[in-house]
Amino acid sequence: MMRAEGIRAAEAKAAALVHRCGVTAPEHINARVYAKKLGARIAEGPLEGAQAQLVRSGDAITILISDRIRDDRARNFIVVHELGHLVLKHPSCSPRELCSPVTRGPSHKRTYEGEASTYSGAALMPADLVRPMCDVGAMSLEIAWQIQREYPVSILAAAIRCTQLTSLRCAAVFSARGAVKWFTPSERCARWIPRGKRLDPASQAFAFFDRGQLDEAARAVPARAWFKTESDVEIIEQSIGSEEHGTTLTMLWIPESSAAALGMK
């Protein structure tokens, strides 16, 4: 199975769970209900090097959550992520790989963690309910905030879901210590930003790591601030920073007027 097939399978399995649980509105979504429906028990305890672990003992299935995870929205995502491993019949992964975000890139290699994260995002933010929120003329973090207010997920998960469901050219970027940690483009964003890329001074996000200050409004920036290009066009960036974690979340939107110059059809 190739990466794209695995992601599609994860979306389909999550949609089946949503249907099975009778979810028709945000208030119906509950990670514990999902776990119970799939026969899994949730427990909390100490874990070294991982946020959660799927434990099988005979017919008993337990999702062990690290007692270090106190945020309810993060716990929701982690629980359903582990359910994704269960439903998709994944082999065990190393602690370093556990609960990593889903990213789409140039590789066609199947990623079990990406599939589990896709499953979690699709079960907690069902496509039929959330896609209309992403059907907008311009993508920004405001859409992700709206999703986060209505669904039991973090702003990071909501931003990623925006890129999965929108028809616009956009991308979510998460940065730490002044460098890109992960990048998730939409289907029509035919550009890639490598992990570890240092933030460009012309980007809005750079200011957070350089001066500790960040203009959180959506602003036009040179496309070359994020993508490798000689073109002189601009794209729209909106970034927010977390002083607690020393990170930034960025939403990039490529307007139609700039797409051709960047080689996007």
Q: The domain that contains 75 carries what CATH number? A: 3.30.2010
- CA separation for the pair 144, 212 (Å, rounded): 23
Give 123's Cβ-side CA count (13 Å radius). 32
What pLDDT, on a 0 to 100 scale, did the predictor assign at position 3?
Answer: 75
What pLDDT, on a 0 to 100 scale, did the predictor assign at position 60?
Answer: 94
Between 120 and 94, residue with greater pLDDT: 120
- Do 41 and 75 lie in one domain? The reply is yes
* Of 124, 147, 182, the domain-final residue: 124
Q: What is the mean pLDDT of residues 93-117?
A: 61
CATH of the domain at 158: 3.30.450
* Of 64, 95, 124, the domain-final residue: 124
- Do 106 and 172 lie in one domain? The reply is no
* Of 72, 97, 124, the domain-final residue: 124
- Do 243 and 134 lie in one domain? The reply is yes
What pLDDT, on a 0 to 100 scale, did the predictor assign at position 109?
Answer: 55
- Do 113 and 195 lie in one domain? The reply is no
Question: What tokens does 60 get?
Answer: 């008993």
Q: How confident is the model at residue 94 (pLDDT cuts 50, 70, 90)?
A: very low
Q: What is the pLDDT of residues 180-201, one digit of tens each?
A: 999 999 999 988 999 999 999 9
* Mean pLDDT estimate for the chain: 92
What pLDDT, on a 0 to 100 scale, did the predictor assign at position 1?
Answer: 59
- Do 12 and 110 lie in one domain? The reply is yes
Q: What is the pLDDT of residues 35-89, one digit of tens each?
A: 999 999 999 999 988 899 999 888 899 999 999 999 999 999 999 999 999 999 9
Contact between residue 165 and residue 130 where contact means Cβ atoms under 8 Å apart: yes
- Do 101 and 163 lie in one domain? The reply is no
- Do 108 and 138 lie in one domain? The reply is no
- Nearest CA to 153 out of 119, 113, 125 is that of 125
- Do 10 and 112 lie in one domain? The reply is yes
Q: Please report where in the chains the tokens 């001074």 appear, as a residue.
A: 201
- CA separation for the pair 142, 44 (Å, rounded): 33
What pLDDT, on a 0 to 100 scale, did the predictor assign at position 97?
Answer: 46
- Do 16 and 104 lie in one domain? The reply is yes
Name the domain count of the chain.
2
- Do 64 and 156 lie in one domain? The reply is no
Domain that holds residue 207: 130-262
- Do 101 and 84 lie in one domain? The reply is yes
Q: What is the mean pLDDT of residues 32-37?
A: 97
- Do 8 and 114 lie in one domain? The reply is yes
Q: What is the mean pLDDT of residues 212-234?
A: 95
Q: What are the DSSP calls for 207-263, one per residue?
A: HHHHHS----S-EEEEGGGTS------EEEEEEEEETTTTEEEEEEE--HHHHGGGT
